[in-house]
């Protein structure tokens, strides 16, 4: 039996739950991962990714040396280079000088509009803060964004409009205090497994009633009081019909509505047409189920709503999230323990990256960039001359690439993201990537996007650096270095600081101590000096259970739930809604609706889990279809099938399952060899700019076995 030299406490690098981990090390090698039983987040529980998904650190294809492409790339003819033979090994000085020279050259020639950066929800708070600071303070652009644009942007915009805050209002573990809770647009057992355990416990041990609203028959349906199997993209009529029932049957919390909200009278008029009968005709959900769900939620003492990307990843994602917010306003199920509006965040630090200003519209602390007072605060903090920071809203993730052309974005810095897997309509994304003049990639592996880069800067994994993550319920927790960096890899924050000093010198900006930090704790302290919600967050206060923001000062204990007395905008605002169908409805040529999502064993673009033995558990993409559809198409389980949309096609194996409703096809988005986003439509929510990943029209046909990608082709592409 192996005995550990030491055990290092840290936080899981995968989903937004933020589970506490104990890394057991022997001779600087992680041989086991456990979880502390006294953790307030996961109580000793871990999912398969948290317990076994750390071995990507040691994968032989991990890049631990700086690289520059041997063949200079030209806009319009840029190619992917996975093979290390297509790169030359360079020193850190050469890599950083080359990167600084190219970025400054483009900035001087084309200005701030030509510069853009993808920040990263897998990186720490400190990493994200510094990269947005670099592009804002040195290149004077707000063209910075990260994956929240592709997951919960609709939720963020809706919550900002209605409440004035975009964070999860309560703590996930409070689900055991719910009498009734709604889970919608979230395959929680696979996407947030530890929260799903708590949901099951709420039902089985504490007697809570769960309502599941989802097109697929998820595992949670087995624990639910009600399952409402709506058609994809019909959230607004269903939840507004529930609001109609609550109003018509006198179940409104009149005191809460009168004291805490505005716009109610206009909202009431707007829901008159949204009867359960009207909703049934659109959603396909029985009208009596809608009524029962409305009554159950409205009459609870403590009701809550938990949702995922099935709500937000639509061209009307903002309206979908607003339809949920209205239910909480009508019933008063917000502002108390065991209630709330709870968007479940997908990546380990998507909440923290957003808090750190990794968005084109906000500085850290959600301070609007077009507000002169906010800009002035950060100019003082960053030693920028008055008026130096841009007051212009930046480009979002999806807009950055669509602006990749002469006169638009010319230089792109990618930290840990993979747009060539995460963007919709990937054939078009490829064309945009090819148009860029300069690309820098900072990552662990050369993924589908890094293969387009001109320079590769090797970063360390989460186990090789210090920092903080902020989980889905706003808990800031310590990430502790357990291992020395492999090879020449360096922590992201150090790479950014060294690059910033080079850029600062080349631009002749006033040099200061603003890029010289001895430890990430100094970076977080800088955030807290300007961002009030992090004012009391300090490393020496995070050792036990972390702190839930806002933390207003050094004595403040943190905030488990929000909005007890008031909303940040004052009163919560009702927004009358209209039903807008998904952009691309099924028709005779493309008769099925495609929806995409995650599976338990993998994570997002696969850069980490597909370089782990987790890949052995779920080694290939599967198109999940209903048995009725499979019989009609002559498709059997495990058979090769071709799934095509108006934008592209993929060939993969079929998984015939009643988990997927008739007329629906589900494909996970982790697999480059059958990338679901070759099919998805690039229609955007006009407010949140989030793509419609959850619904587009496809056709399905049997395919030949020899059309499936050969395993050796994956090796040729550098995936394994």
Q: What is the predicted pLDDT for the residue at 40?
A: 93
pLDDT of residue 713: 54
Domain encompassing residue 477: 67-150+348-548
The CATH number for 14's domain is: 2.20.25.90
Q: Dihedral (C-alpha) 587, 238, 270, 328: value to the nearest 10 degrees?
A: -140
Considering the domain architecture, whether residues 279 and 319 belong to the same structural domain is answered as: yes
Residue 401 belongs to some domain of the structure: yes
Residues of the chain whose pLDDT is less than 70?
Answer: 511-513, 710-720
Whether 339 and 353 share a structural domain: no
Q: What pLDDT, on the 0 to 100 scale, is given for residue 604?
A: 84
Alpha-carbon span 476 to 480, nearest angstrom: 13
Task: Work out the burial of residue 474: count CB atoms within 10 Å of its CB; fewer than 13 is exposed, 13-18 middle, 19 or more buried.
Answer: buried
Q: Are residues 506 and 620 in the same domain?
A: no
Q: Which residues of 439-461 are buried (b: 16+ CB within 10 A; e: fewer)?
A: bbbbbbbbbbbbbbbbbbbbbbb
Please count the other Cβ atoms lying within 10 Å of the Cβ belonging to residue 373.
8
Q: Do 290 and 361 fall within a single domain?
A: no
Q: Residue 441: its pLDDT value, please?
A: 98
Taking residue 310's Cβ as centre, other Cβ atoms within 10 Å add up to 26
The answer to whether the CB of 561 falls within 8 A of the CB of 340 is: yes
Both 220 and 88 in one domain: the answer is no
Q: Which pLDDT does position 324 carry in this prediction?
A: 98
274 with 139, same domain: the answer is no
Q: Which string of b and e fits 206-242 if b means at least 16 CB within 10 Å?
A: eebbbbbbbbbbbebbebbebbbbbbbbbbbbbbbbb
Last residue of a domain, one of 488, 520, 548: 548
Domain boundary among 317, 344, 371: 344
CB distance 482 to 8 below 8 Å: yes
Q: Do 76 and 193 fall within a single domain?
A: no
Specify the pLDDT at position 166.
86
Same domain? For 289 and 211 the reply is yes
Quick check: 107 and 409 in contact, CB under 8 A? Answer: no
- Give the distance, in angstroms, between the CA of residue 39 and the centroid of all CA atoms in the same chain: 24
Residue pair 655/623 in contact (Cβ under 8 Å)? The answer is yes
Q: Is 107 helix (H, G, I), strand (E, B) or coil?
A: helix
CATH number for the domain that contains residue 191: 3.40.228.10
Q: Would residue 104 count as lying in a domain?
A: yes
Tokens describing residue 663:
């007329």
Q: In degrees to the nearest 10, what's the CA dihedral of 49, 52, 57, 59?
A: -100
Whether residues 265 and 131 share a domain: the answer is no
Report phi then psi at 684, rounded to 5: -120, 150
* pLDDT recorded at residue 413: 98
Tokens coding 266 = 């206009």
- Show Cβ contacts of residue 222 under 8 Å, excluding neighbours closer than 6 positions: none
| Chain position carrying tokens 């020899």 | 706
3-state secondary structure 281-320: HHHCCCHHHHHHHHHHHHCCCCEEEEECHHHHCCCCHHHH
Is 18 in contact with 350 (CB distance < 8 Å)? no
**Residue 14 vs residues 174, 187, 281, 367, 471: alpha-carbon distances, Å:** 22, 16, 39, 28, 10
Q: For 1-49, give the DSSP string.
A: ----SEEEEEE-SSSTT--EEEEEESSS-EEEEE--TT-TTTTT---HH
Q: Are residues 690 and 600 in the same domain?
A: yes
Q: Tell me, what CATH number does 505's domain have?
A: 3.40.50.740
Answer whether the bond into residue 550 is a cis peptide, omega within 30°: yes
My answer on whether 209 and 286 are in the same domain is yes
Domain count, the chain: 4
Please give the pLDDT value at position 147: 82
Q: What is the pLDDT of residues 250-309, one digit of tens each?
A: 999 999 999 999 999 999 999 999 999 999 999 999 999 999 999 999 999 999 999 999
CB-based contact 191:348 (threshold 8 Å) = no
Q: Are residues 236 and 212 in the same domain?
A: yes
The structure's pTM equals: 0.96
* Domain end point (choices 40, 58, 76): 58
Q: CATH number of the domain that 704 lies in?
A: 2.40.40.20
Rounded Cα distance, 586 and 594, in Å: 10
pLDDT at 164: 92
Distance from C-alpha of 554 to C-alpha of 551, rounded to nearest angstrom: 8
∠ CA 94-90-105 to the nearest 5 degrees? 35
Distance CA 670, CA 607 (A): 9
For residues 417, 420, 425 and 427, what is the CA-based torsion angle, rounded to 10 degrees? 160
């Amino acid at each position: 039996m192996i005995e550990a030299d030491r055990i290092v406490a840290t936080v899981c690098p995968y989903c937004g739950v933020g589970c506490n981990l104990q890394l057991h090390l022997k001779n600087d090698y992680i041989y086991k991962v456990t979880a502390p039983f006294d953790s307030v987040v996961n109580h000793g529980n871990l999912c398969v990714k948290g317990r076994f998904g750390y071995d990507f650190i040691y994968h032989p294809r991990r890049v631990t040396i700086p690289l520059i492409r041997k063949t200079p790339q030209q806009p319009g003819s840029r190619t992917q280079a996975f093979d290390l033979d297509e790169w030359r090994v360079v020193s850190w000085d050469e890599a950083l000088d080359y990167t600084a020279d190219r970025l400054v050259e483009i900035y001087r020639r084309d200005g701030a509009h030509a510069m853009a950066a993808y920040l990263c929800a897998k990186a720490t708070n400190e990493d994200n803060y510094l990269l947005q600071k670099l592009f804002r303070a040195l290149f004077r652009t707000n063209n910075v964004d990260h994956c929240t644009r592709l997951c919960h942007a609709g939720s963020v915009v809706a919550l900002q409009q209605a409440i004035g805050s975009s964070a999860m209002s309560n703590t996930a573990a409070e689900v055991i205090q719910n009498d009734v809770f709604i889970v919608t647009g979230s395959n929680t057992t696979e996407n947030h497994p530890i929260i799903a355990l708590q949901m099951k416990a709420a039902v089985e041990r504490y007697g809570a009633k769960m309502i599941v609203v989802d097109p697929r028959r998820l595992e949670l349906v087995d624990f639910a009081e009600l399952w409402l199997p709506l058609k994809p993209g019909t959230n607004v009529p269903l939840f507004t019909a529930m609001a109609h029932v609550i109003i018509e049957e006198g179940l409104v919390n009149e005191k809460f509505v009168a004291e805490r909200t505005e716009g109610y009278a206009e909202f009431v008029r707007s829901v008159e047409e949204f009867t359960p009968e009207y909703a049934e005709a659109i959603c396909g959900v029985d009208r009596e189920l809608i009524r029962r769900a409305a009554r159950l939620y409205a009459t609870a003492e403590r009701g809550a709503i938990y949702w995922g990307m099935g709500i937000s990843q639509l061209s009307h994602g903002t309206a979908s999230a607003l339809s949920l917010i209205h239910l909480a306003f009508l019933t008063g199920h917000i502002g108390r323990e065991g209630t709330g509006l709870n968007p479940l965040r997908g990546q380990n630090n998507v909440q923290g990256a957003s808090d750190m200003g990794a968005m084109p519209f906000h500085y850290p602390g959600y301070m609007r960039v077009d507000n002169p007072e906010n800009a002035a605060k950060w100019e003082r903090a960053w030693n920028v001359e008055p008026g130096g920071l841009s007051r212009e809203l930046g480009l979002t993730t999806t807009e950055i690439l669509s602006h990749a052309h002469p006169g638009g974005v010319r230089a792109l810095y990618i930290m840990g993201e993979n747009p060539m897997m995460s963007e919709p309509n990937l054939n078009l994304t490829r064309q945009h990537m090819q148009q860029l003049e300069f690309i820098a990639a900072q990552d662990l592996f050369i993924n589908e996007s890094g293969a387009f880069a001109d320079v590769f800067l090797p970063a360390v994994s989460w186990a090789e650096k210090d920092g903080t993550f902020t989980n889905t319920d706003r808990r800031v927790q310590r990430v502790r270095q357990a291992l020395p960096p492999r090879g020449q890899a360096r922590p992201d924050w150090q790479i950014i600081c060294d690059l910033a000093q080079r850029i600062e010198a080349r631009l002749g900006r006033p040099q200061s101590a603003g890029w010289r930090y001895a430890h990430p704790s100094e970076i977080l302290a800088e955030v807290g000096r300007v961002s009030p919600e992090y004012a009391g967050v300090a490393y020496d206060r995070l050792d036990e259970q972390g702190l839930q923001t806002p933390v207003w000062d050094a004595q403040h204990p943190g905030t488990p739930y929000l909005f007890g007395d008031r909303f940040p905008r004052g009163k919560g605002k009702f927004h009358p809604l209209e039903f807008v169908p998904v952009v691309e409805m099924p028709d005779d040529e493309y008769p099925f609706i495609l929806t995409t999502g995650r599976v338990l064993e993998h994570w997002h673009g696969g850069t980490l889990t597909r370089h782990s033995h987790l890949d052995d558990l779920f080694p290939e993409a599967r198109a999940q279809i209903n048995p009725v559809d499979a019989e009609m198409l002559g498709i059997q389980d495990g058979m090769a099938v071709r799934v095509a949309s108006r934008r592209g096609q993929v060939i993969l194996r079929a998984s015939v399952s009643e988990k997927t409703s008739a007329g629906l096809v589900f494909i996970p988005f982790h697999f480059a060899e059958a990338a679901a986003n070759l099919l998805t439509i690039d229609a955007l929510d006009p407010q949140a700019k989030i793509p419609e990943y959850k619904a587009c029209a496809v056709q399905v046909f049997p395919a030949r076995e020899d059309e499936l990608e050969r395993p050796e082709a994956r090796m040729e592409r550098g995936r394994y």
